[in-house]
Amino acid sequence: MSDLLQHFDSPREVAAAAQRLRERALELELTPSQVIDILERWGESLRGAGVDEIPGVAFLRLWLRRGTLEPIVVRELGVEGLNGEWHEERTARLRAYPLGVIGHWPAGNIEIQPLLSLSCALLGGNASLVRVPAGLVAQTRALLETLSEVSGASSLLERICVASFEHERADLQRAMAAAVDGAMIWGGAEAVTRIRALPFPPWARIAVFGPRLSVAAMDGESWSGGPDRDNWCRRLARDVWQFDQQACSSPQALFLERCTAGDLAEFAATLGAAFEAENRLHPRESIHPALTSAICLARASWLLDDSTHRALFPATPDWTLLLGADSRVPSPTQGRTLSVLLVEDLREPIARFDGVVQTLGLAVSDEAKEATLTQAAARSGVDRIVKLGRMHIFGSPWDGADLVRPMVRLVRHVPAHAD
């Protein structure tokens, strides 16, 4: 494990680590199918004390399954690409080859993101140099230790180096960027802007997954008291609880289409009961004082801002429902704080989307209406439209972009004997 998790003190150490990774990846070719075999065994081993407590590990186990990864590879690289074979295209043939060393800059608020990011590069046959934020080093170490115990994982371990250094070390950030052939960058606007400005080689491929937020929406029949309302509320609560509402796919607001049969207070009571049940199943072990302050401020500001506003929450900062009427997407508070907003027509908030909304979770009873909303959302910049309860179930494309293909080279060969 000492080779996987390294603390760097000089640019020369970073460059040397990248070169070692490149050489090891060139020594042995791994097909995507072979990589998936190892990743799936790794996912199955992610259980037990020290691992189960890591937020998002249940998602990671699902992500590392062959049933999840193989369709991504087939969609992006073709059936032949799964086993590293050539794809015939008229008189030519195509095959994916790795870029080399991929640098990863994961965000600091999603514990499993360093592993999600590097898995995409590994599927393309690349090596991975991962700069892990200080707050995620312990979790990343625990997850990688399970990989070291998986049969046949040595071929992957030789392609991974986790770099630990302070983000203020601009010299090490520059050295890492200069040493890689591609990059996967995740995080907020400031972090993304800073990393994109680093001196990457001119040929480097760069994939950016910047700051986004997500919302949910329900039509009148779904929320006003139909037979499925309780189930929709439970599904929405699960979407809010996963990743503690910090992921880009976490719903920050719920838009309800106004209807004569709908009673907002009655619906809020049902949703509150679902939130309370989810809180009992998955209680928060700790909360940062700054988040507690933000939740308390959001509650007070909402109630003082407008006399028609209502709120539902326990005495603790465990969860919060802010109830009102508005078609604007609110600024997120996070911490399991959901704005529940009445609108005349669900197309009103969708028309206000400006590209920042990543995922729209829907509970709509009419297929024709759902098709209309999907078209409107897609044209307004939304990349994923899914049913409530599935807002965190990702595949490819992710944020409207491929995950594996940007980190490979598609080599075109026209045989000498071809016409």
Q: Which domains does the chain have, with CATH numbers?
A: 5-210+399-413 (3.40.605.10), 213-387 (3.40.309.10)
CA dihedral 265, 268, 273, 277 (to 10 degrees): -170
In this model, does residue 229 exceed pLDDT 60?
yes
Of the candidates 3, 94, 12, which has an alpha carbon nearest to the alpha carbon of residue 405? 94
Instruction: pLDDT band for 1, please (50, 70, 90 cuts).
Output: very low
419: confidence class by pLDDT, cuts 50, 70, 90: low
Sheet containing 310-312, strands listed edge to edge, beginning at the edge strand earlier in sequence? 310-312, 320-325, 337-343, 251-257, 213-218, 357-363, 384-387
The answer, yes or no, to whether residue 217 has pLDDT greater than 60, is yes
CB burial of residue 270 (10 Å; 0-12, 13-18, 19+): middle
What band does 2 get if pLDDT is binned at 50, 70 and 90?
A: very low
Least trusted range by pLDDT, from 58-62, 121-125, 182-186, 195-199? 58-62
Q: What is the mean pLDDT of the chain?
A: 93
Q: What pTM was estimated for this model as a whole?
A: 0.86
Residue 102 CA from chain centroid, whole number: 18
pLDDT at 259 over 90: yes
More confident residue, 262 or 36: 36
Q: What is the pLDDT of residues 81-117, one digit of tens each?
A: 999 999 998 889 999 999 999 999 998 888 899 999 9
Going 306 to 211 to 72 to 66, the CA torsion angle's sign is: negative
pLDDT of residue 3: 57
Instruction: State the pLDDT at residue 418.
Output: 65
pLDDT tens digit string along 302-320?
A: 999 999 999 999 999 999 9
